[in-house]
């Protein structure tokens, strides 16, 4: 059977937001979801908010090159070493992204695991200083299809949803983190979802 060419869809012109459906083929995306579910060292850290401790409403894992250190509550952490399947996916994502943003590279990834529609991620932008002034973030979605909600910081335009089908790749280009925030809101959608948000962390002193 022949495959239609995979093409990036432009969701926003400025700042640039694109999605590539079917970045991963059917068998591969199902196998990857299953494998990552079983083999990633998932953690559910606890955050303290107004003096009360809450486990985050999802599981996560930071992974990447040893130099891609990140800061969290005043401490610098090294990521978990690459899982071979995630490293292979990073290479594939890099070559797919190169069609839109030549030269963009990734040295780390945040993996998020949402058990069901109740698990979530609140409003934020991926604008930590170690990501540099104009981060490029490429997000692979596996499993249950849940929309990513965006809102403009200026509030001049209304919020909007971006669908994230199983096996799709969402590309947030330069300016997206500065001008918008995003969230994975709770939804009555059953089923496991795993996302992988590839980033480039600038090396920093340990």
Ligand X SMILES: O=C(O)CCC(=O)C(=O)O
CB nearer to ligand X: give 1 or 190: 190
Residue position matching structure tokens 């335009």 = 157
Nearer to ligand X by Cβ, of 2 and 184: the residue is: 184
**Can you list the positions of beta strands (E) in the chain?**
8-12, 17-20, 46-49, 52-55, 59-64, 70-72, 75-77, 108-114, 121-124, 137-143, 148-152, 160-162, 169-172, 180-184, 193-199
Nearer residue to ligand X within complex by CB, 36 or 206 = 36
Structure tokens at 193: 């979802």
Distance CA 65, CA 46 (A): 25
| 142 lies in the site for ligand X, by CB under 6 A | no
Is the backbone peptide bond immediately before 15 cis, with ω within 30 degrees of 0?
yes
- For residues 105 and 199, give the distance between their C-alpha atoms in angstroms, rounded to a whole number: 8
Considering beta carbons, is residue 116 or 126 the nearer one to ligand X?
126
Residues 113-152 within binding reach of Fe ion (CB under 5 A): 126
Give the residue with the Cβ less far from ligand X, 17 or 121: 121
CA pair distance 138, 160, nearest whole angstrom: 19
Segment 152 to 171, residues that bind ligand X, using CB under 6 A: 164
Using DSSP bridges, classify how beta strands 169-172 and 137-143 pair: parallel, antiparallel or unpaired. antiparallel
107 binds, among ligand X, Fe ion, none (CB under 5 to 8 A by kind): none
Q: Which two tokens stand for residue 13?
A: 């012109």
When binding is defined by CB under 6 A, the residue of 112, 168, 177, 181 that contacts ligand X is 112
Residue 34 near Fe ion by CB under 5 A? no
The least distance separating ligand X from the CB of residue 195, rounded to whole angstroms, comes to 3
If one asks whether residue 182 binds ligand X (CB under 6 A), the answer comes out as: yes
From candidates 37, 126, 127, 130, binder to ligand X by CB under 6 A: 126
State the residues that interact with ligand X by CB under 6 A. 110, 112, 121, 126, 139, 148, 164, 182, 184, 195, 197
State the residues that interact with Fe ion by CB under 5 A. 126
């Amino acid at each position: 059977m022949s495959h239609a060419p995979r093409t990036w869809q432009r969701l926003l012109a400025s700042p640039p937001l694109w999605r590539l459906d079917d970045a991963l083929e059917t068998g591969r995306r199902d196998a990857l979801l299953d494998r990552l579910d079983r083999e990633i060292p998932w953690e559910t850290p606890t955050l303290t908010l107004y003096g009360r401790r809450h486990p985050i409403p999802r599981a996560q894992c930071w992974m990447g090159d040893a130099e891609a250190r990140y800061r969290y509550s005043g401490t610098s952490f090294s990521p978990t070493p690459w899982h071979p399947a995630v490293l292979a996916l990073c290479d594939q994502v890099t070559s797919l992204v190169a069609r839109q943003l030549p030269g963009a590279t990734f040295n780390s990834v945040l993996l998020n695991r949402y058990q069901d529609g109740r698990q979530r991620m609140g409003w934020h932008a991926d604008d930590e200083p170690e990501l540099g002034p104009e981060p490029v973030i490429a997000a692979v979605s596996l499993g249950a299809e849940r929309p990513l909600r965006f809102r403009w910081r200026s509030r001049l335009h209304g919020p909007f949803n971006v669908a994230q089908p199983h096996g799709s790749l969402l590309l947030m280009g330069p300016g997206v983190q500065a001008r918008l925030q995003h969230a994975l809101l709770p939804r009555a959608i059953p089923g496991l979802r795993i996302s992988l948000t590839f980033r480039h962390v600038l090396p920093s002193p340990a």
